[in-house]
Chain A
Amino acid sequence: MSATSTPPASHAANPRHRPSLSQRRSRPGEVLFKLALQFCLLVAFAFLVALIAFAVIKGWNRLDPRLWEEMPTGAASRVARAGVQSAITGTLWVIGLTAAICLPIGIASAIYLEEYADNTRWYNRLLELNIQNLAGVPSIVFGILGLGLIARVIGLGFTVITAAIVLSLLVLPVVIIASREALRAVPRSIRQASYALGATRWQTTWRQVLPAAVPGMSTGAILALSRALGEAAPLILLGAVTFIRFNPDSLLSSYTTLPIQIYNLIKEPQAEFQELAAAAIVLLLVILLALNSAAILIRNRFQKRW
């Protein structure tokens, strides 16, 4: 989503922003229009602030070590001593595996499409179209794929590995699209210089193009994984709905994740559950904000301007 194709010239000279000229032309309609536009942006950010503030206030009493030291419970009498530990470990397992599955496949696909594929061929265009379309398939449909094919037909059941495979497939288009953009940003001259020195295609890709594309790729990878981290819908279909009171210990363990645990807690009517849900939301948002900031930081600091 970060693909701003603004020509760099407009950043530097910025002829679009000309306050003195527009002020001279100012009419009441102009001012009103600008205010209306600012209002639109303000509303969007106001909701972000409200959302975070509400979660922090509501979950304040539960933001203590109980949150990660204790196991979840479905019993109202024990909820004061409950936490979400198994959801945290479950999330680490599932997202760790998702990264291990989707990053190599996604980056390899991107390398194929950018460095190897002849995109006048119909099958390469089909591949591209297919990825664009997959990016828009609702996440719950991936859950159906997991339920019908991976859990039942292949027989992996409702386990950590099934969840990781489904989330990998879900975010694969994001990884591919972001990695392709990073590869495309590496100038052609770098490749030609490498070829001129007698390097093969793979030597060029591995030693010249990939290192230059790493910052852009890692930004895309982090954003893709943070999407997987917040995803709950497909996992509802994959058996992650109960209050699980143990940490996963293998690929074939039962599991729960933070978003799923939050959903479980919201469903319970008592206020104590809602407080714990809010605290877990704050934890989830902190993790996501940290990941997102890291992604933006990497993009701003390490991205080379050619």
Chain B
Amino acid sequence: MAVITPGAPVPAASVRRGRRRPGERIIEGFLVLAAVVSIATTIGIIVSLLFPTVEFFGEVSIIEFVTGTQWTPLFSIKQYGVLPLLVGTLWVTLIATVIAVPLGIGAAIYLSEYAHPGTRKFLKPILEVLAGIPTVVYGFFALTFLNPILIDLWPSDGKPEFQNLLVAGIAMGIMIVPTVASLAEDAMSAVPQSLREGAYALASTKMQVATRVVVPGALSGIVAAIVLGVSRALGETMIVTIAAGLKTDGIPWSPIDGAATMTSFIAGAAQGDLPVDSLDYLTIFAVGTTLFLFTFALNALSIRLVRKFREVYE
């Protein structure tokens, strides 16, 4: 690169700008352009959801959408109540949360407070690998491995269906354990050592330090980890599409029924050859908007919480 050598004395202003080569501005422009891509993505998502959704609600009233108990857009008698999809989603998310929260937090406390540093260095990458297993694999595992076991072990006669919400929820719970554990461990590691030492000095036991100092100290981070896990469960598609089925007629009152969730309805509807701009096609976008709003709220909450725990200790 040519180094600019100012020969004759130069005015002060040009010394400050002397090092600025014309390429610098262009490069910075490119970098800004790249950064704008992510903004454009968000705008693209909102635009692609908004217009078809508005069109959908031009034909179906919002009240019917929110309060209807039948979702049968692909049947001859069409009804557009989103409640069955919502209830299906809530079941799966609830079951996944009940499984993932204790397991994830327990594993995180162990890794952060009990495990030998060598063990932790070895186990944490494995957790990350576990988090990277494709969801289609979890779906297969749920349908062909977990579900037969579940049906065998089921105590009463009303056995779970071939595809059901319970087994999808269990598989999803297992799927989000690593996410919750990894993030919760980060939060617990951020709790200053001095707090632990203070507690030990007051003759606390290890368990007391873990449960009364570290967990409360990392609470907002732990809650953020849980919220992020819930948000992942809510938006997960392949496990439910494979293991919970695509039934949408009526609210699934029991988790051992097969039923669609918001995500699996979208996936199912997209596989049929729907004519573009038919009301059926628009349902994909209306349900997509509902899903987006739910996850957006959860993400916003989790971002706030993470910020809070960073502020406290950093």
Contact = CB atoms under 8 A, between A and B. Distances in A.
Given A236-B271, A292-B129, A141 B288 contact: yes
Contacts of A176: 38
Contacts, number: 305
Nearest to B203: A25
B110 A259 contact: no
A137 B131 CA distance: 17
A113 interface: yes
Contact of A230 (B115, B134, B177): B134
B145 A50 contact: yes
A73 interface: no
Nearest to B141: A51
Contact of B135 (A133, A152, A201, A230): A230
A55 B136 CA distance: 12
Contacts of A281: 136-137, 140
Interface centre among B31, B45, B139, B295 (most CB of A within 10 A): B31
A173 interface: yes
B206 A30 contact: yes
Given A112-B35, A237-B270, A137 B132 contact: no
Given A14-B117, A133-B42, A138-B295, A144 B285 contact: yes
Nearest to A104: B34
A229 B132 CA distance: 10
Interface stretch (B57-65, B74-82, B188-196, B251-259): B188-196
A233 B238 contact: yes
A131 interface: yes
A9 B197 CA distance: 14
Interface in B138-169: 138-141, 143-145
A136 B228 contact: yes
B10 to A, nearest CB: 15
Given A2-B128, A149-B44, A136 B295 contact: yes
B198 interface: no
Interface residues of B toward A: which range? 35 or more
A131 B38 contact: yes
B185 A4 contact: yes
A196 interface: no
B291 A30 contact: no
Given A108-B30, A230-B135, A17 B117 contact: yes
Interface stretch (A208-216, A246-254, A283-291): A283-291
B267 to A, nearest CB: 5
Residue in A127, A140, A292 with the greatest tally of chain B CB atoms within 10 Å = A140
A272 B239 CA distance: 21
Interface stretch (A40-48, A64-72, A74-82, A185-193): A40-48
Given A55-B137, A136-B228, A44 B103 contact: yes
Given A37-B114, A136-B228, A141-B45, A4 B24 contact: no
A30 B205 contact: yes
B54 interface: no
Contacts of A48: 126, 129-130, 133
B242 A263 contact: yes
Given A109-B38, A136-B302, A198-B3, 13 more contacts: A1-B128, A17-B115, A41-B106, A44-B127, A47-B174, A109-B31, A136-B298, A138-B295, A144-B284, A199-B19, A200-B21, A236-B271, A281-B137
21 contacts: A6-B189, A26-B205, A30-B206, A48-B126, A50-B141, A55-B141, A108-B30, A127-B35, A130-B42, A132-B303, A142-B45, A227-B132, A230-B137, A232-B237, A236-B237, A236-B267, A263-B238, A274-B144, A285-B137, A292-B128, A292-B132
